Structure 1
Amino acid sequence: MKARPTILDVAKQAGVSKSTVSLVLQGSKAVKEATRVAVREAMAEIGYVYNRSAATLRSSSSGLIGLVINDLRNPFFTEFAALFQMELARNGFATVLANSDEDPELQTRMISSLVEHGVSGFIISPSYGGTQETLAVLEASNTPTIQVFRSLTSGDPKFPFVAPDYDLGGRLATEHLLEMGCKRIAFMGGLEGRAVTEERMSGYLSVLADNGMEPVVLTGQATRAFGKATAAQLRADHPEVDGVICFNDLVALGVLAAGPELGVKIGRDLRVVGFDDIEDCRDSYPPLTSVSCNIPDFATSTGEQILAWVKDGKIPRMTARSPVALIKRASSGA
């Protein structure tokens, strides 16, 4: 017996991606009319029939939640993913995990595939770029979706958005370094112009302005390698800097690694604060002061919200911020 045509067959016949076919099937207005016609003609040519009732049944009863993460190599996101999965498992739901690896095209394809497999809801920490394509797939699927840590859009989010209070975290870190006697404080890491970078930097800038101090900002990749390389640049260009707030803990750990090579005593000559409080902070040398986003509670709360939406139709607040706290350790002289 000849196998029934699939959505992949339609995509091949029409010369488009599988996600484009999905958008056409879901009636999305994001697809151009010429593309829509080509897909419909391809469906007719190969005899593909979309079983909409079966798709609806799958999406409403699958017990699957799609978790799409921008970078699972980062231990901050890995910790969140593991704890979120455990929270869902305790409530009888399974998590389908996807790593977009900061690739917006891959992100859209993965979301389309998860929609086709009938996930009941999405948690997405989006990659940068490709916003309209990802939004089109999510909106067409009509699947409960919560954004975490980052938002696909600036301003009013299209879907509920929850993140730690980045601004407060920056304030706490800067005030702490001032209390420790720092006279010149720099901010290091984070891609320039990104909303998360600006938010994590905003508290730092506000506290400096209140104290009549000039900022020193060195943006860039949120990696250990960037932190280590930029620590040398900072020492050469701004030897007066005695305090550093890093975009995340990976950048801060890079700064710590550079200390011995630069002849800098971390916690005395240069006081360092990270952001996220990943597990490595406790085991680094010296132990790293960091802004904790309390990921265990964040994961539990996110799981509760998506399940309340999927099972009971309770839509979360459109924007919410979770508490942060400064965990003081030796890298800042605490």
Structure 2
Amino acid sequence: MRRPTIIDVATKAGVSKSTVSLVLQGSEQVKPATRQLVHTAMKEIGYVYNRSAANLRSSGTALIGLVINDLNNPFFTEFATSLQMALGSRGYAVVVANTNEDTEIQDQVIGAMLEHGVSALILSPAYGDVTNSIAAIERSGVPTIQVMRQISSDYAKFPFLAPDYLTGGRLATRVLLQAGARRIAFVGGLEGRPVTHERVSGYLEVMAEQDLPPLVLTGRSSRSFGQTTAASLFTDHPEYDAAVCFNDLVAFGMINACHKAQKTIGEEFQIIGCDDIKEAAECWPALSTICCGVDDFGRQVAETVLDWLENSVEPSEVKRTQVRLIERQTTKPIGSF
């Protein structure tokens, strides 16, 4: 059941959200009759004021913990930068930790952040045994949001925000088909991971619609995997003329393999990445990719956390943000074939 929010109190009392905030802060600017109206509304709908978070915020000492699975990946670095800037503009300090895909390190940094009194956690988790991390967060009662990846399906306790990867997979595959590709592989992403399943599912759905055979080549989402897999693909499946990549790093590796094999990228072989990190527009040839709007995503996560802390507005259990395709030089312009 959704917890009542400050907006619900304002609606029930027939006053503005700012008036409710003033009452909660004990301001003398509010008339006694109005104050009583707000308190009555709070009691009737069961609203509980998160005073500890408010005190942290007003004292200027509020810390937000950000735990990232892989800061070597530019996508996560760009996300962390956007998030930190957005939270910093509102007076919050951000403590950032990189787990390097290691759940033991994840346990350690989450424990340390909780001990140091973070008022919220934002977690892009490493996969594996997360029992200790989950238990520590639950004991602390600290508001925690999962982003990009999830380690718990209890979204009522741990809301989840991520780009709409399923739609991204569909978009990439459809554009390649419209550009004349007929043998399309999906490359990258560790098998069995939810985030891989989401991205692959969109690809598989469109391939099935067109009655075309899929080829899924899973593995580490790195340049080296993209390059070695592309080289094998060119040898073992020379009929394949395009790839949907798990992320931009895999796509960069495939671009390198195309250069080495002297394949004309965008003509003989088409490539679409995912994430639209800054390098995607600067590599050669420039990479067509699914844009996840990482800067805006970081700001949305910041606003969600702050609304939860400052106004007791609990996030939606699951929220997907919009993605879009950016066509550059690694795909044929539609209608040019």
Pick closer, same or farther for the CA change 1:145–1:155 going to 2, 3 Å.
Answer: closer
Q: Secondary structure at the residue paired with 2:158? A: coil
1:218 and 1:158 mapped to 2: Cα distance?
A: 34
CA drift of 1:154 comes to 4.6
Q: CA deviation at 1:90?
A: 0.8
| Structure 2 counterparts to residues 136-155 of structure 1, below 5 A | 136-154=135-153
Query: Would the alpha carbon gap of residues 263 and 157 (structure 1) be closer, same or farther in structure 2, given more than 3 Å must change?
Result: farther
Could you tell me whether the CA contact under 8 Å between 2:53 and 2:310 is conserved in 1? Answer: no
Distance apart, 1:153 and its partner CA: 2.5
1:131 deviates by 1.9
- Residues 121-157 of structure 1: CA deviation (Å, up to 9, x unaligned): 0100000012211110111110011100001125756
- Alignment partner of 2:75: what SS? helix
Paired residues for 1:228-247 under 5 Å? 228-247=227-246
The aligned counterpart of 1:271 is: 270
Matched, 1:283 2:288: no
Q: How far apart in 2 are the matches of 1:155 and 1:293?
A: 25
Aligned to 1:298: 297
Query: Equivalences for 1:65-76 in 2 at 5 Å?
Result: 65-76=64-75
Distance (whole Å) between structure 2 residues aligned to residue 315 and residue 57 of structure 1: 16
Contact 2:107-2:130 within 8 A present in 1 as well:
no
Which runs of structure 2 are paired with 1:206-217 in the superposition (5 Å)? 206-217=205-216
CA distance in 2: counterparts of 1:121 and 1:234, whole angstroms: 45
1:312 and 1:171 map into 2 onto residues whose CA distance is: 37
In structure 2, relative to structure 1, the CA distance for the partners of 1:113 and 1:282 (3 Å cut) is: same
Equivalent residues of 2:67, 2:106 under 8 A apart: yes
Q: Aligned letter for 2:293?
A: N
CA displacement, residues 5-59 of structure 1 (integer Å, 9 cap, x when unaligned): xxxxxxxxxxxxxxxxxxxxxxxxxxxxxxxxxxxxxxxxxxxxxxxxxxx9699
Identity rate, percent:
48
Q: TM-score, normalised by structure 2?
A: 0.80
Once residues 233 and 156 of structure 1 are traced to their aligned partners in structure 2, the CA distance between those partners, rounded to angstroms, is 40
TM-superposition CA deviations, 1:77-132 (whole Å, max 9, x none): 00000010000011111101011110111101101100110001010000001221
- Give RMSD over aligned pairs: 1.5
1:18 aligns to what?
none
Amino acid at match of 1:196: V
**Letter of the aligned partner of 2:288 in structure 1?**
T
* Alignment match, 1:175: 174
1:244-259 superposed matches below 5 A = 244-259=243-258
Moved more, 56-65 or 75-84: 56-65
Partner residue of 1:79?
Answer: 78
Distance 1:68 1:59 in 2: 23
Task: Flag the 1:258–1:161 CA change in 2: closer, same or farther, 3 A.
Answer: same
CA 1:94–1:135: 2 relative to 1, 3 Å: same
How far is the alpha carbon of 1:263 from its aligned partner?
1.9
- Are 1:101 and 2:106 counterparts? no
* Separation of aligned partners in 1, 2:64 and 2:195: 25
Where 2:186 maps in the other structure, the secondary structure is: strand
Match of 1:317, SS state, is: coil
Give unmatched runs, 5+ long, in structure 1. Answer: 1-55
Contact kept, 8 Å, 1:191 with 1:197, in 2: the verdict is yes
Q: TM-score, normalised by structure 1?
A: 0.81
In structure 1, the partner of 2:328 is 329
- Tell me: CA distance 1:57–1:305, structure 2 relative to 1, closer, same or farther (3 Å): closer
The 5 A counterparts of 1:192-207 are 192-207=191-206
Q: How many residues align?
A: 279
Contact 1:65 1:119 in 2 (8 A): yes
Runs of 5+ in structure 2 lacking a partner? 1-50
Q: State the SS of the aligned residue for 2:330.
A: helix
Amino acid corresponding to residue 314 of structure 1 in structure 2: V
The higher-RCO structure (CA 8 Å, 6+ apart) is: 2
C-alpha contact (below 8 Å) 1:228/1:258 kept by paired residues: yes
Instruction: Tell me what 1:315 maps to.
Output: 314
Partner of 2:45: none
Shift in alpha-carbon separation, 1:313–1:57, aligned structure 2, 3 A: closer
Offset, 1:192: 0.5
